[in-house]
């Protein structure tokens, strides 16, 4: 592969909360390549949003990038301090779509003006020209009668339609990277599929690099070329979709796959991961998943594993890949997955 | 929008009707001395009864109530008995209202301009020095009775600035202190509410999207936060003029301004019942009008109410 | 990067040993999560973090305690006794503050220091009576309003009517109708004070009622009343504390107002409003301004303190500030 367009290295993100410090992201690394589509998956609270928000300088006021680097267009975004610096990136080069479209739009301003605002901001379009372009974009995200819709207010739109508007705002300025943070989580299932379809279509049309965040592995195969699995603020395994689904190596990925309802084996109870993620206020020693892993090794509790290479595109952060480790079989469900997956992905 | 306003108007009229009736009932409880006029001590019981009879106060209650409504419909507010004996209340009010309106509007403008500036400044510096500084102002004005600080403003305001101590309609300088005094509580209230509304808006999700678009904090403040915070503010503003009745009563009496607030105090202390009744009716109606205007204003500004029940898509 | 301690631990355990399975402890898996939450502990913790509020709480506790023990301290004078100048045999009028009369005397020779604390007692007493009435009656009406469906429309309309008339006007009218006295003052303030509390309780009950209405728990026989009490009580108690605290600046303000327009307490009952009025009458003479100054300062300190305390407690008791 060529040079990554964005390269996040060992990013550590902390928050101060009531006089205590909480580490939400502990050394996450990820490379993005031009035009690809990467899914970041993990339980909620694993730091997916925080990690990606740090790329556009949108951490909450009590949070900061403590160490690590985020290289983009020759600049280290982790070193950005002022709002002026971020305004050259945010919305213009890297755009983000958030989870809840019902509250994402200003209820008191027309749909048109909220999209047009972005165009005026980044592309210097004005007046009729900006309006014409706005209507074009509305049509592009699949909104019928865009001229009429242009003048309407958010409350006249359904949830799915609002998410289309939010996506329209995000793509209005042809960003290089589009981050979709659980864009379908709060929508009905049928609408979810439509929005997913739209995102895929736009990614192909605009050749934008897509980062798709979800806690639902089920949708990943539909949007992504590559998958990164996140747990307790670390990326613990990444590879192509096939590698993660056919040949997962980290026990957490196994657990995640086993809990997928679509992949469950008939007659067997649905698997769910026991316990809760670690308390982020505490220092974590060793592998953060160890306390919840019935097959954890003793070393998991003392020393954090490095990344082991499985293939040139597939890496996993688990001691199980160490030559000294005992052989541990993945769960039945994961083994049975291969056949199922072939039918499922089509 | 029109439909909403009409529905709202109807509701206000019902409330007004009930408030008027309530006032009528309270008025029947007023001390009867308040009807006898100047020579109350020298009147014989028979003369007193004659006065009450003449005013219709000895009629059965339903007759009184009917007359009360009929009088109001005719716009008849009765006749003063002591304050200016036998002069129609309307005539007395006509002389006072211009002052009250002038000061009321002046104080409204001043408290809007200064209060909104203060509120914006607080919201922008939320949690920092200036926020805390102005919060102390708001706390002081809200907690301490107006009489206390208004007295000191008159006492030291005049000696430090050399402004006149008493109101004189022909001297513009004599308007300054009363106007400022009357605005103080309005400034505090406007600043406090605007700050609260702006902070509410700042915590909403759409602000995050506006930031993600790449808008500067300043642009977000102006184009989203302030704009949206004005809606609840517009709702509360018209009625807020009435929160300052006690303020205007203090100020009018301190500076001898011939307005309605001072008149109410005089009417009560001199026991002029018809005058008291007229003023109570006016103030209560203004309260209802204020709430009505606030709701209509909000409906104009908020499309969610504006388009309600017009079959907006889905 | 390994810490020295990590190195030690690793060396201590055989390398082979490290790559064997650890004991799986389901308890430990659950333990990694977050700790539990207690409403009152969090409320107190958040309140104590507010240094100004803690200071004012101490100040006001001492002040209130002082006003109530002050008459029993040695060397205190009677607040309504008129002192006579032994040299002239006349009333000791407008005697400036000195060792004998700490805050001086008023225009008929009464001791201002004693009157000030007596007045503070009166005003606090009114405030507490009104505050307690407000929470008791307000909660009662609010509960009926939210819970007794047939009365809902009536109470809503009644609330609309009363809250549409400016409070100033209602207070003045009641005070005028009933003639000024201690009872009148309390009745007038009680007549309007409960509105806010009633609406608060009603709104909370409606929120819970509508949520519980659809729930199976009702079919299972848990009475809504129990649900309301259990869910609402802690929050309600803190709102009550806040209301009583805020009723102090509120009632003092109205007392001052009613006194100012001539509908206050009789002159023989010292109150903050009466003292302020006495001071106002002599304020044009700079030498006598102490008679305005002392009551004004005490009154301001008390009202501001309780206002800040009430709001600080309201913030602390809001579960949204507890995380
Ligand atoms: N402003 C903040 N202050 C404190 N903690 C935060 C803040 N934002 C996020 N966190 C913490 O960071 C962790 C990761 O959050 P997030 O990235 O939103 O998870 P995900 O998106 O994977 O569900 C969570 O435990 C959350 O509590
Ligand atoms: Mg998230």
Tell me: pLDDT of A171 over 70: yes
Pair (A88, A36) in one structural domain: yes
At B240, is the pLDDT very low, low, confident or very high (cuts 50, 70, 90)? Answer: confident
Range of the domain at A119: 6-224
Which residues from C are below 8 Å from B158, CB to CB?
A: none
Q: Is A230 among the domain residues?
A: no
At B225, is the pLDDT very low, low, confident or very high (cuts 50, 70, 90)? Answer: very high
Mean pLDDT of B112-128: 93
Pair (A180, A69) in one structural domain: yes
Pair (A140, A16) in one structural domain: yes
Pair (A160, A262) in one structural domain: no
Q: Is A213 among the domain residues?
A: yes
How many folded domains does chain A comprise? 2
Q: Which of residues 208-227 of B touch A (CB under 8 A)?
A: 208-217, 223-224, 227
Cα torsion A234, A240, A246, A251 to 10°: value is -10
Q: Which domains does chain C have, with CATH numbers?
A: 43-321 (1.10.3720.10)
Tell me the CA–centroid distance for residue A188 and ligand 2, in Å.
Answer: 18
Tell me: pLDDT of A199 over 90: yes
Q: Which runs of E-coded beta strand occur in A157-312?
A: 177-181, 209-214, 226-231, 234-240, 308-311
Tell me the CA–centroid distance for residue C279 and ligand 2, in Å.
Answer: 63
- Residue B178: the pLDDT is 93
- Mean of all residue pLDDT scores within chain A: 88
Q: Cβ of B283 under 8 Å from any chain C Cβ? A: yes
Mean pLDDT of B29-57: 79
- Residue B300: the pLDDT is 87
Nearest bound ligand to the CA of residue A50:
1
Asked whether A16 lines ligand 1 (CB < 6 A), one says no
Q: Is A232 among the domain residues?
A: no
Pair (A169, A269) in one structural domain: no
Pair (A73, A156) in one structural domain: yes
Q: Is A239 among the domain residues?
A: no
The residue that leads in pLDDT, B39 or B265, is B265
Pair (A263, A195) in one structural domain: no
% of chain A with per-residue pLDDT over 90: 56
Please write the tens of the pLDDT for every residue from B256-276.
Answer: 899 888 898 888 888 888 898
Q: Please tell me the distance from the alpha carbon of residue C218 to that of residue C211, in angstroms, as a whole number.
A: 11
Q: Closest CB to B142: pick one of C263, C299, C307.
A: C307
Which residues from B are below 8 Å from A176, CB to CB?
A: none
For the domain that residue A72 is a member of, what is the CATH number? 3.40.50.300
Please write the tens of the pLDDT for every residue from B176-202.
Answer: 999 999 999 999 999 999 999 999 999
Pair (A213, A251) in one structural domain: no
Mean pLDDT of A325-343: 74
Tell me the CA–centroid distance for residue A26 and ligand 1, in Å.
Answer: 12
The residue that leads in pLDDT, C84 or B89, is B89
Q: Please tell me the distance from the alpha carbon of residue C246 to that of residue C240, in angstroms, as a whole number.
A: 10
Q: Is A36 among the domain residues?
A: yes
ipTM of the complex: 0.87
Pair (A309, A258) in one structural domain: yes
Asked whether A15 lines ligand 1 (CB < 6 A), one says yes
Q: Which residues of A lie closer than 8 Å to B, measured between beta carbons? A: 56, 58, 83, 86-87, 89-92, 95-96, 98, 100, 103-109, 117-118, 121-122, 152-153, 155-158, 166, 169-170
- Residues of chain C under the 70 pLDDT cut: 1-16, 24-37, 211-228, 230-231, 323
At A264, is the pLDDT very low, low, confident or very high (cuts 50, 70, 90)? Answer: low
CB C272 within 8 A of CB C115: no
Q: Is A113 among the domain residues?
A: yes
Mean pLDDT of B235-241: 82
Tell me: pLDDT of B289 over 80: yes
Helices C182-213 and C224-260 sit at what angle, rounded to 10 degrees?
150
Q: Is A89 among the domain residues?
A: yes
At B60, is the pLDDT very low, low, confident or very high (cuts 50, 70, 90)? Answer: confident
Q: Which of A26, A50, A181 most suits a substitution to test ligand 1, by most atoms within 8 Å of the C-beta? A: A50
At B312, is the pLDDT very low, low, confident or very high (cuts 50, 70, 90)? Answer: very low
Pair (A134, A215) in one structural domain: yes
The two structure tokens encoding residue A44: 């909620």
At B310, is the pLDDT very low, low, confident or very high (cuts 50, 70, 90)? Answer: very low
Tell me: pLDDT of B138 over 70: yes
Pair (A65, A126) in one structural domain: yes
**Nearest-atom index, ligand 1, CA of A60:** 1
The residue that leads in pLDDT, C90 or A59, is A59
Pair (A218, A140) in one structural domain: yes
Q: Which domains does chain B have, with CATH numbers?
A: 95-310 (1.10.3720.10)
- Residue C168: the pLDDT is 87
- Nearest residue (CA) to ligand 1, atom 23: A44
- Residue B4: the pLDDT is 83
Q: Which of A131-140, B244-253, C106-115 ranks highest by mean pLDDT?
A: A131-140
% of chain B with per-residue pLDDT over 70: 96
CB spacing of A156 vs B314 below 8 angstroms: yes
- Residue A261: the pLDDT is 64
Q: Is A150 among the domain residues?
A: yes
What 8-state DSSP symbol labels residue C111?
B
What 8-state DSSP symbol labels residue B57?
T
Conformational region of residue C38, where left means phi above 0, alpha means psi within -120 to 50, and beta covers everything else: beta
- Residue B188: the pLDDT is 94
- Residue C281: the pLDDT is 86
Q: Closest CB to C34: pick one of A279, A298, A322.
A: A279
Predicted structure pTM score: 0.85
């Amino acid at each position: 592969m060529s040079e990554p367009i964005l390269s996040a290295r060992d990013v550590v993100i902390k928050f101060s909360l009531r006089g205590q410090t909480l580490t939400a992201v502990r050394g996450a690394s990820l490379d993005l390549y031009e035009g690809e589509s990467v899914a970041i998956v993990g339980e909620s609270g694993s730091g997916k949003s925080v990690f990606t928000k740090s790329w556009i300088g949108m951490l909450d006021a009590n949070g900061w990038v403590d160490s690590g680097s985020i290289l983009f267009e020759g600049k280290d975004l982790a070193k950005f301090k002022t709002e002026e610096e971020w305004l050259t990136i945010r919305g213009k080069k890297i755009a983000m779509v958030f989870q809840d479209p019902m509250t994402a739009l200003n209820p008191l301003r027309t749909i048109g003006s909220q999209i047009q605002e972005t165009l005026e901001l980044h592309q210097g379009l004005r007046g009729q020209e900006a309006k014409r372009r706005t209507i074009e974009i509305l049509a592009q995200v699949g909104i019928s009668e865009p001229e009429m819709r242009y003048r309407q207010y958010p409350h006249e739109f359904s949830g799915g339609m609002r998410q289309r508007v939010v996506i329209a705002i995000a793509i209005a300025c042809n960003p290089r990277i589009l981050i979709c943070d659980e864009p379908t989580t709060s929508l009905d299932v049928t609408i979810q599929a439509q929005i997913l379809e739209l995102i895929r279509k736009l990614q192909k049309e605009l050749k934008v690099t897509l980062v798709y965040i979800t806690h639902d592995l089920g949708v990943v195969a539909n949007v992504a070329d590559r998958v990164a699995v996140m747990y307790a603020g670390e990326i613990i395994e990444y590879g192509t979709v096939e590698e993660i689904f056919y040949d997962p190596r980290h026990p957490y990925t196994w657990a995640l796959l086993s809990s997928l309802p679509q992949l469950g084996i008939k007659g067997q109870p649905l698997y769910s991961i026991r316990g809760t993620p670690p308390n982020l206020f505490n220092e974590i020693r060793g592998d953060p998943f160890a306390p919840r892993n019935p097959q954890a090794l003793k070393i998991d509790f003392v020393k954090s594993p490095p990344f082991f290479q499985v293939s040139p595109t597939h890496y996993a952060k688990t001691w199980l890949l160490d030559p000294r480790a005992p052989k541990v079989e993945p769960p039945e469900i994961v083994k049975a997955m291969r056949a199922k997956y072939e039918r499922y992905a089509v | 929008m029109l439909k909403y306003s009409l529905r709202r108007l109807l509701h206000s009229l019902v409330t007004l009707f009930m408030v008027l009736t309530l006032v009528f009932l309270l008025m029947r409880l007023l001390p009867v001395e308040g009807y006898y006029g100047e020579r109350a001590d020298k009147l014989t019981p028979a003369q007193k009864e004659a006065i009450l009879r003449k005013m219709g106060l000895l009629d059965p209650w339903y007759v009184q109530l009917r007359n009360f409504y009929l009088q109001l419909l005719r716009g008849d507010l009765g006749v003063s008995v002591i304050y200016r004996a036998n002069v129609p209340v309307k005539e007395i009010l006509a002389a006072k209202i211009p002052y009250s309106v002038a000061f009321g509007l002046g104080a409204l403008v001043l408290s809007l301009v200064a209060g909104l500036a203060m509120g914006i400044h607080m919201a922008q510096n939320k949690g920092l020095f200036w926020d805390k500084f102005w919060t102390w102002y708001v706390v002081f004005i809200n907690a301490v009775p107006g009489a206390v600080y208004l007295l000191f403003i008159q006492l030291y305001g005049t000696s430090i600035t050399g402004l006149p101590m008493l109101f004189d309609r022909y001297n513009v300088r004599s308007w300054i202190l009363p106007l400022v005094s009357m605005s103080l509580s309005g400034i505090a209230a406007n600043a406090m509410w605007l700050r609260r509304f702006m902070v509410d808006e700042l915590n909403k999700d759409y602000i995050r999207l506006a930031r993600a678009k790449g808008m500067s904090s300043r642009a977000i403040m102006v184009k989203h936060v302030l704009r949206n915070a004005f809606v609840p503010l517009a709702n509360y503003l018209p009625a807020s003029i009435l929160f300052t009745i006690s303020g205007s009563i203090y100020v009018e009496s301190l500076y001898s301004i011939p307005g309605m607030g001072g008149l109410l105090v005089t009417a009560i202390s001199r026991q002029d019942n018809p005058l008291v009744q007229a003023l109570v009716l006016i103030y209560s109606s203004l309260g209802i009008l204020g709430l009505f205007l606030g709701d209509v204003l909000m409906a104009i500004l908020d499309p969610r109410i504006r388009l309600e029940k017009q079959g907006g898509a889905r | 990067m390994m810490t020295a301690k990590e190195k030690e631990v690793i060396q201590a355990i055989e390398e082979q040993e490290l790559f064997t399975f650890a004991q799986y402890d389901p308890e430990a898996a659950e333990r990694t999560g977050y700790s539990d939450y207690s409403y009152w502990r969090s409320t107190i913790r958040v309140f104590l973090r507010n240094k100004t509020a803690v200071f004012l709480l101490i100040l006001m506790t001492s002040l209130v305690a002082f006003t109530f023990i002050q008459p029993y301290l040695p060397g205190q004078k009677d607040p309504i006794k008129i002192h006579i100048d032994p040299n002239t045999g006349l009333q000791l009028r407008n005697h400036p503050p000195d060792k004998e009369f700490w805050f001086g005397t008023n225009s008929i020779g009464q001791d201002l220091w004693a009157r000030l604390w007596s007045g503070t007692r009166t005003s606090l007493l009114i405030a507490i009576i009104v505050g307690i009435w407000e929470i008791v009656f307000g909660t009662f009406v609010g509960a009926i309003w939210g819970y007794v469906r047939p009365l809902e429309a009536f109470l809503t309309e009644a609330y609309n009517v009363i809250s549409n008339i400016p409070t100033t006007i209602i207070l003045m009218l009641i005070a005028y109708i009933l003639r000024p006295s201690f009872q009148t003052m309390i009745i007038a303030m009680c007549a309007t004070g409960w509105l806010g509390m009633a609406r608060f309780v009603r709104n909370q009950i409606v929120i819970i009622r509508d949520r519980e209405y659809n729930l199976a728990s009702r079919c299972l026989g848990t009475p809504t009343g129990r649900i309301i009490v259990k869910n609402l009580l802690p929050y309600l108690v803190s709102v009550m504390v806040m209301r009583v605290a805020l009723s102090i600046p509120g009632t003092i303000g109205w007392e001052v107002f009613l006194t100012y327009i001539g509908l206050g307490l009789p002159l023989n009952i010292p109150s903050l409003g009466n003292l302020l009025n006495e001071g106002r009458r002599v304020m044009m003479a700079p030498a006598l301004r102490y008679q305005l100054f002392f009551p004004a300062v005490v009154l301001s300190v008390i009202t501001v303190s309780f206002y800040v305390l009430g709001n600080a407690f309201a913030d602390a008791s809001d579960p949204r500030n507890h995380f």
